Amino acid sequence: MIGRLNHVAIAVPDLDAGIRKYRDMLGADVSAPQDLPEHGVTVVFVQLENTKIELLHPLGEGSPIAGFLEKNPSGGIHHMCFEVEDIRAAAKKLSDEGARVLGDGEPKIGAHGLPVLFLHPKDFDGTLIELEEVAV
């Protein structure tokens, strides 16, 4: 069901410092910051040859990343994102097998302009999983 690894997301307490680490220290191609108010985050993508790293920083009141950073003040891996061909079919199959889809179960538009859903970390060995429907 899952396709390729789309990205690994890392919550960072200082977005500019995170950008400098990947761009200047590691020589990676880093996108411009993108605010996603509906998700409560500002993101940048570090483009790698075989996948991406998403740097997440809190945006606005009630950002889920703010809570994560309170528990992990120096940041850390927040989630992994896998591609799926049909997000609704994937969500149904996973729900039927006992996995919990977070939120209201309806896909939201993510940073790539594509539908995304998140799966409860307790159902995946403590790892928050994002599913992103690939554009076909």
- Mean pLDDT in consecutive groups of 10 residues from the start of the chain, 136 residues: 95 98 97 95 97 96 93 97 97 96 94 95 97 88
pLDDT score recorded for residue 95: 95
pLDDT score recorded for residue 16: 98
Q: Which residues form the catalytic set?
A: 130
pLDDT score recorded for residue 73: 97
Instruction: Map residue 135 onto helix, strand or coil.
Output: coil
The answer to whether the CB of 57 falls within 8 A of the CB of 111 is no
How many Å apart are CA 130 and CA 101, to the nearest integer? 10
pLDDT score recorded for residue 54: 98
pLDDT score recorded for residue 115: 97
68 sits in which H/E element: helix 64-71
CATH among 3.30.450.40, 1.20.59.10, 3.10.180.10, 3.40.640.10 for 5-133: 3.10.180.10
Tally of CB atoms within 10 A around 129: 20
pLDDT score recorded for residue 1: 87
* Burial (CB count <10 Å: 0-12, 13-18, 19+), residue 10: middle
Q: Give residue limits of the domains in the chain.
A: 5-133
pLDDT score recorded for residue 135: 74
How many Å apart are CA 76 and CA 67, to the nearest integer? 12
